[in-house]
Amino acid sequence: MFSSAFAQTAPAVAASGGSDIQSSLMSMLPLLLMFGVLYFVMIRPQMKKQKEHKTMIDALAKGDEIITAGGFLGKVSKMGDGYLSVELATGVEVQMQRSAVVQVLPKGTVK
């Protein structure tokens, strides 16, 4: 009914210790290559874009004509540390965060 169980011997270990390290490095090489490609294709351009946006927002001044994230065109009328007031039309002023500014337009664009 029950068959005999036989113990197996452990496989022989390779004599050269360097091949284990080399094989583990070779198995990690595709992962390192993928991270390198991901960094140069996605992460680095995004960091560059964020840096450009920050310098644009820091350079805002009263009287600049801007486009907001909501698509509104207006002229900066008042500035604070984190907020600014934008005049959308004559007598219509809204207050918004500085980070909501998407683009600074050339002077004379908004009439």
Query: pLDDT tens digits, residue range 60-101?
Result: 999 999 999 999 999 999 999 999 999 999 999 999 999 999
What is the rounded average pLDDT of the residues 28-36? Answer: 93
Write down the pTM of the prediction.
0.68
What are the respective helix, strand and coil percentages of the chain, to the nearest 5? 40, 25, 35
Report the pLDDT value the prediction gives residue 24, as an integer from 0 to 100.
Answer: 85
Q: Which two tokens stand for residue 103?
A: 């683009």
Report the pLDDT value the prediction gives residue 5, as an integer from 0 to 100.
Answer: 65
